[in-house]
Amino acid sequence: MKTVIKYMFVVLILGAAGCASNPGSKVSAAELEALNNAISQKSIDITARWARPMPDQALTSIANAGLISPGSSINRIDITGSGSYLRVVQDSVMADLSYFGQRQIGGTYNPRKGGIYFKGLAKDFTVEPTKKGDGYTIQFSVNEGVENYQVTAHVFPSQISNVSVVSSHRGPIWYDGTWEPYNPE
């Protein structure tokens, strides 16, 4: 009986060790240097690959009608190839991001700018290391016409990025994607 208990104890320990989380991702010095350079030069180009709108009854109705593309859901929509981007160049910020959600305040209809679009000077611009210290958090606000946007972007050495946009006229939305140093060419 003691032998069985010993074997069960060993199996339990090995199982617990096997389930332990990865102690940390390995970031190369080149990746970290690329991120630090882009941050110090305020030159980042984020390409959105996934839109993550706040699910509501309207999006549920669209999904129930079968209008969400295959591989997507109402809270994670594939926008690869849509050209959605957020760009930071010094004090200027530009974005053309696909939007899924509801307008809270009416606005003019422009089929070319139905998403989140802005181009201007950032207000309250801050860059800080993330809480875990493995990337940076960029925050700013910007006005486009009568609409105000509060933007928070997280960029990591692995070239992964997350962006949240809170609008004065629409529901909030998040984006997942990649980043690279901005190249004007």
pLDDT digits (tens, 9 = 90+) for 99-143: 887 777 665 555 556 789 999 999 999 999 988 878 999 999 999
CATH number of 29-181: 2.40.128.410
Supply the pTM of this predicted model.
0.79
Least confidently predicted of 51-65, 87-101, 131-145: 51-65
Burial (CB count <10 Å: 0-12, 13-18, 19+), residue 97: buried
Q: What are phi and psi of 52, to 5 degrees?
A: -125, 85
| pLDDT at 23 > cutoff 70 | no
SS3 label, residue 45: strand
Strand partners for 181: 44
Res 77 pLDDT > 60: yes
CA 121 to chain centre: 21
Structural domain boundaries in the chain: 29-181
Number of residues written out for the chain = 185
Distance in angstroms (rounded) separating the CA atoms of residues 23 and 12 = 20
3-state DSSP of 74-90: CCEEECCCCCCEEEEEC
CB atoms within 10 A of CB 82: 16
pLDDT, mean over the chain = 84
State the Cα–Cα distance between residues 57 and 61, nearest whole angstrom.
6
Q: Which residue has the higher pLDDT, 55 or 178?
A: 178
